[in-house]
Structure 1
Amino acid sequence: MYIRVYTNRFVIRAFGEPEIEIEGTPDKPFTTERLLVGSFQEAEKTLSQGIKKSLGSGLIKKTPVVVIHPKEKTEGGLSEVEVKVFRELALGSGAAKVVVHEGSELTKDEVLEKLKNA
């Protein structure tokens, strides 16, 4: 699963059959003036709902492996604290394994490679 984080918005791409992409937006903003994720609880709630929606329903609960990619407010790179926030956000939303990515947009093959090497 590839999760891109924007101001008050998650774009979640699930690589199942069929491959889907959904957008999650919060009831209340989670982005602040300085931080992409300033309200952790609101962000976690929004991401959890998006992940559940992208996995669909079934008898067996699925726990995705995730690349999470902050796309805004990353000037100068992410601090150690910010990386931890994104990792904890994904884990708290149901991910089994998380890779935090900084840099350019990833292709499906690049996401799968990052997850394989994690």
Structure 2
Amino acid sequence: MNNDKILRLIPNFRFTDEYERQQLLHDYARFSPWIFYGGLIISASDFFITSYLNRLPILGTLTFILILIYSIILIASLRKKKVDTLEVYTEAQYKMQLKNYIKVAYYSQL
């Protein structure tokens, strides 16, 4: 794996066997959108609540800006790798790819 420094941040990742590592990575991949958007909502609500109370929300503002920068970098890297494009040449290939994407999306939610 290329990003061992990041994977060491996962608790007990170094002390598990290969099956447990795959399960941990699957769980983190499945819940990362919820964690990302949840963190974005919490930091935005913290920003608005502290602004409403007439306090200077330095930490909330910094967190909100960092999450927005992270999301822009993530979107740029995905577009650079052309993850969001679908290259097919016939309608039959398009339908087959669409079915595969629907299956993957369904099974990833389980």
TM value normalised by structure 2:
0.23
Query: Which structure: larger Rg?
Result: 2
Tell me which protein shows more strand as a share of its residues: 1
More relative contact order in 1 or in 2 (CA 8 Å, sep 6+)? Answer: 1
TM norm structure 1: 0.22
Name the one with the larger helix percent. Answer: 2
